[in-house]
Amino acid sequence: MLNILYRDERIIVIDKPSGLIVHRSVLDWHETRFALQLLRDQIGQHVWAVHRLDKGTSGVLVFALDKDAARHLSQAFEAQQMEKCYHAVVRGWPQPAGHIDHALSRRYDDAEKRHDPSKGEPQAAQTDYLRLATIELPVMIERYPVSRYALMQLTPHSGRRHQLRRHMKHIAHPIIGDSTFGKGVHNRYFAEHLGAARMLLHCSALTLPHPDDGRLLTLQAPFSGEFAHLVKRMGWQDSLGTGSIQPAALQSEP
């Protein structure tokens, strides 16, 4: 059962788990479970996907419950009328705060490549980041005797595909668990020794205009599962504020 964060007559919002794709894709042709299908079956009515989260990313995911709401919400996402807040664990210690202004070439699905084989011109992309907490572990993973990691708050101001993952790689602080843009040795260490085998990127909050009257609706998804366990293990929970981690997830920590 998917965790429903909010529902009214026009929209429904879930906390998407890591490892679940939003809808059927030629890139994940072997997958048999999709958030759209699971949610439709769970509530017994059709839903429309209005944006996407990467398969490995967890957190706030919005669906429309009718075509008109889908149109309004899709337009709002395209016009960047949403405020998004993500949290991530990255390799190294970035600056305490910063702004990334780095254009990104467009990335296509396989189906899109059949119609337009060119990658197109790079598109403007901006991300703000804030370093919330750090840790230095006494383990040698690369060439240094210790390994540093940081908990980050990321705010994208554009909606390019894989933007946060590519931007963090661009500043040499890739997201842990990212098999495409990250570093395999660190990903394996977290999976094998710290119990975090997923990509450590979570959409924790999203503010959007409601399709009925434009009123702003803020939706939040606390950390849970492997991400919540890791945050507690690193001693980072106080840096997130009250309500950022689901209590049940912490109580189950061995």
CA angle 27, 31, 36 (to 5 degrees): 95
220-234 pLDDT tens trace: 999 999 999 999 999
Helix (H) or strand (E) holding 202: strand 201-209
- 48 in Cβ contact with 12 (< 8 Å): no
Catalytic residues: 54
How confident is the model at residue 17, as a pLDDT? Answer: 96
Radius of gyration of the chain from Cα atoms?
A: 18
Instruction: Determine if residue 9 is left, alpha or beta; phi over 0 gives left, psi from -120 to 50 gives alpha, anything else beta.
Output: alpha
Helix (H) or strand (E) holding 165: helix 163-170
Question: What is the rounded CA–CA span in Å between residue 143 and residue 125?
Answer: 32
Of 113, 116, 102, 79, the closest CA to residue 170 belongs to: 102
19-66 pLDDT tens trace: 999 976 545 455 568 899 999 999 999 999 999 999 999 999 999 999
Across residues 9-19, what is the average pLDDT? Answer: 96
147-174 pLDDT tens trace: 999 999 999 998 899 999 999 999 999 9
Cα 104 to Cα 56, 112, 124, 186: the distances in Å are 20, 17, 7, 25
Letter for the amino acid at 56? G
Question: What is the rounded CA–CA span in Å between residue 161 and residue 81?
Answer: 17
CA quadruple 119, 112, 2, 72: dihedral sign: positive
pLDDT over threshold 80, residue 188: yes
- 59 in Cβ contact with 86 (< 8 Å): yes
How long a stretch of residues is the chain? 254
Question: What is the rounded CA–CA span in Å between residue 58 and residue 201?
Answer: 7
- 13 in Cβ contact with 7 (< 8 Å): yes
Q: Structure pTM?
A: 0.89
